[in-house]
């Protein structure tokens, strides 16, 4: 076998933003616990989207940012990753400072926000109870992420926000987890792509100072240099 792992989904089957593909994702109910939870939330908040959340950003981006899952009152409500909750504040401010977003805030679908050279997605497309997907749910949702990452050309860069996202990325390329340990600021070469790790920009991480705005911008700056 060659030293380079192959993506589990070929580029020819990679997801794009066609209406049919977006509709297929939005109708997914393959995880019973997540589908039931979405239905319960929809009953309490009828105005929320409460469906799987598609990727957002530049379809031809060479930088793909992978988070964990939609937030209950964030992407699950708005339909855009990292939009409507605390975690998105630092992310979009950082992307704007680095010239990857045309504005520093993501408020709602249709607000005029656009990303250039970057795309944001999640390892799990549905909101999980207590923000904790099970291992089985991560595996069940993996084909969507695998297809998105398979579309990233060799030399492209992936920013994994948190350990679960990091491990989901490695699995997408068939790479053993033991070869690349998660650590903030770590850089990995995986199947012809570069993977950078960052602590997730959650409220807990930022308020406890485990992750500062400076730390977050530094790792993003390093990643952006590789796609410039």
For residues 69 and 126, is the Cβ–Cβ distance under 8 A? yes
Q: Identify whether 2 is part of a domain.
A: no
Domains contained in the chain, number: 1
What does the pLDDT look like over 139-175, one tens digit per residue? 999 999 999 999 899 899 999 999 999 999 999 999 9
Boundaries of domain holding 208: 16-225
Tens of pLDDT along 48-96? Answer: 999 999 999 999 999 999 999 999 999 999 999 999 999 999 999 999 9
Does residue 51 lie in a domain region?
A: yes
C-alpha span between 111 and 79 (Å, rounded): 12
pTM for this entry? 0.90
What's the CATH code of the domain at 93? 3.40.470.10
First to last CA, the chain: 32
Please give the Cα distance from 49 to 29 (Å, whole number): 14
d(CA 226, CA 228): 6
- Asked if residue 54 belongs to a domain, the reply is yes
């Amino acid at each position: 076998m060659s030293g380079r792992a192959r993506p589990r989904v070929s580029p020819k089957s990679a997801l794009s933003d066609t209406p049919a593909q977006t509709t297929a994702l939005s109708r997914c109910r393959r995880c019973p616990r997540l589908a039931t939870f979405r239905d319960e939330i929809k009953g309490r908040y009828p105005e929320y989207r409460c469906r799987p959340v598609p990727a957002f950003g530049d379809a031809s981006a060479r930088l793909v940012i992978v988070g964990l899952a939609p937030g209950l009152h964030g992407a699950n409500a708005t339909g855009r990753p990292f939009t409507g909750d605390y975690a998105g504040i630092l992310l979009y401010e950082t992307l704007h400072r680095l010239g990857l977003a045309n504005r520093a805030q993501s408020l709602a679908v249709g607000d005029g926000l656009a990303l250039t050279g970057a795309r944001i997605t999640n390892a799990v497309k549905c909101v999980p109870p207590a923000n904790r997907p099970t291992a089985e749910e991560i595996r069940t949702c993996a084909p969507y992420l695998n297809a998105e990452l398979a579309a990233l050309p060799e030399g492209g860069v992936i920013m994994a926000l948190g350990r679960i996202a990091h491990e989901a990325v490695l699995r997408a390329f068939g790479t053993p987890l033991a070869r690349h340990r998660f650590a903030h600021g770590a850089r990995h070469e995986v199947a012809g792509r570069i993977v950078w790790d960052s602590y997730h920009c959650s409220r807990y991480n930022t308020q406890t100072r485990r992750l500062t705005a400076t730390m977050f911008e530094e790792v993003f700056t390093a990643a952006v240099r590789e796609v410039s």
